[in-house]
Structures are given as C-alpha cells and as structure tokens.
A and B are shown apart, each in its own frame.
Chain A
Amino acid sequence: GIQVEQSPPDLILQEGANSTLRCNFSDSVNNLQWFHQNPWGQLINLFYIPSGTKQNGRLSATTVATERYSLLYISSSQTTDSGVYFCAVAVNFGNEKLTFGTGTRLTIIP
C-alpha cells in the first residue's frame, strides 16, 4: 500500500515564529487532506488539497502531485496551534480510504 511520511516528527517553536511541515507520499494520489488534532483528539479539517495551493488565514498549503509531496505553512504561530498535524491521502476510485501519515507534533511556547 501507499506510504506516507511526514517531517519533522517534532517541532518546538516560540510564539510568532513561522513553520513548514512536509508530507511525502509514495504513489499518485487523488485526495489529500491536512488535519490538526487537538489535545482532546478531535481531528480538525485544515485543507482538502489534492493539487495546487490554498490559503486560509495564517495557514496555507501546497501540493505538488507530480513530485508526490505536500507542504503546510503556518505563519505567526500561536499557542493554540499546538497539537499534532496529519496529512492523509486516498489513492484511487474504489479505494477512497484515507491513509494517514506519521504526524508532526507542534509545540508553541509563549
């Protein structure tokens, strides 16, 4: 099956800093989502981005499908950004299950 790797595994930043999270996948995908999992376990949808670039406030994401990677940018970090960030992909029609990456644990220090 498809392999999804995220880097870095852990990231500790001062409040106000910027960060880039990376997601590499081993095969072509037709669906890619970024999630933020808060300390209570809730997965919050950030982006649905199988290709291209999207922005939402301080967050933006870019997926380069031909090179099999996606990037999540967080600018001007806040303590509420702390948590685990997952990317998840789906491969093809008839196989719409999401395969999750290994996650990046982000800690923002005040």
Chain B
Amino acid sequence: DAGVTQSPTHLIKTRGQQVTLRCSPKSGHDTVSWYQQALGQGPQFIFQYYEEEERQRGNFPDRFSGHQFPNYSSELNVNALLLGDSALYLCASSLGRRGAFYEQYFGPGTRLTVT
C-alpha cells in the first residue's frame, strides 16, 4: 500500500520565479491538504482540496494556489517567489467525507530554497 508521495524532494529557485510541487495521496484517500513548515517551527496549513475544489484555506496570500485532479493527486503553485517562501512543503492525505474527522497522513515533503 503506497503512502503519500511528493515530488520533487528538493528544489532551488530564484526570487521572483514560479514553482509547482506535486503530491499523490495514500491509496483510498480523496482529500489533500498542503502545509508549509519554516525552519524550527510547526507546519502551517495552506489549503485543502476535496472533490477538485479548494474547501478550506489558511492565512496565505493569493500567490499560493493549487489544483486537484480527478485521480485525487494535487499540485501546489507558488508565484513570484520570495526569500521567505523557503521552507519544507508537506502534503497530507485523508478521507474527506463531510461530518466526520479522519486521520491525516503526511508525505516526505519538498524542501524549497529561494535564493
């Protein structure tokens, strides 16, 4: 049973560029959430996708956008990169049926460095 996978594992970009990160959920899961973890801090929620729509969003600017595909995989896009966007980006998958809570499982993360 494959767990949550993310690509790439590492990425170096220049300030002002754009980046796309990818995530495939755990088998059987239909919901993907993205988190940003700065060095020395806990992960911060960016947004969650369910049924190919953004269901919930954290306190992040519009430069952060996403997409979910019919096979439940997801992309995170960040435009106009800033030095402060350097972080570990984590993807989590879970079931997403309304009216219930489900355990979230995390991928290995993508480490983004902006120079």
**Chain A positions near chain B (C-beta within 8 angstroms):** 30-31, 33, 35, 40-43, 45, 48, 50, 86, 88, 90, 93-103
* A–B complex contacts, Cβ < 8 Å, 20 sampled: A30-B101, A31-B101, A33-B103, A33-B104, A40-B108, A41-B109, A42-B106, A42-B109, A43-B43, A43-B90, A50-B101, A94-B56, A94-B98, A96-B94, A96-B96, A98-B35, A98-B45, A98-B92, A98-B104, A100-B44
Output the nearest chain B residue to A40 by Cβ-Cβ distance: B108
- A31 contacts across to B, CB distance below 8 A: 101, 103
Interface residue from A41, A43, A50, A98 paired with B111 (Cβ < 8 Å): A41
Interchain nearest-CB distance for A70 vs B (Å): 15
Alpha-carbon gap, A42 to B56, bound state (A)? 24
Nearest Cβ in chain A — how far from B68, in angstroms?
15
- Cβ of B33 within 8 Å of any chain A Cβ, yes or no, is yes
Binary contact track B76-102/A, C-beta < 8 Å → 1, others 0: 000000000000101010101011110
A102: nearest chain-B partner, CB-CB:
B42
Whole-angstrom distance between the Cβ of A67 and the nearest chain B Cβ: 20
Asked if residues B109 and A97 are in contact (CB atoms below 8 Å), the reply is: no
Contact A43 to B106, CB < 8 A, known contacts A96-B101, A97-B33, A97-B48:
yes
**B108 — which chain A residues lie within 8 A by C-beta?**
40-42
- From A101, which residue of chain B is reached at the shortest CB distance? B42
CB atoms of A103 and B109 under 8 A apart? no
- With CB as the reference atom, state the residue of chain A lying closest to B108: A42
Q: How far is the CA of A48 from the CA of B106 in the complex (A)?
A: 13
4 closest A-B pairs (Cβ-Cβ)?
A100-B42, A43-B106, A97-B45, A31-B101
- In the complex, what residue of chain B is closest to A45 when comparing beta carbons? B105
> Given contacts A40-B108, A96-B56, A97-B58, is CB(A45)–CB(B103) below 8 Å?
yes
Residues on A with beta carbons closer than 8 Å to the beta carbon of B99: 93
How distant is B65 from chain A, measured CB to nearest CB, in Å? 17
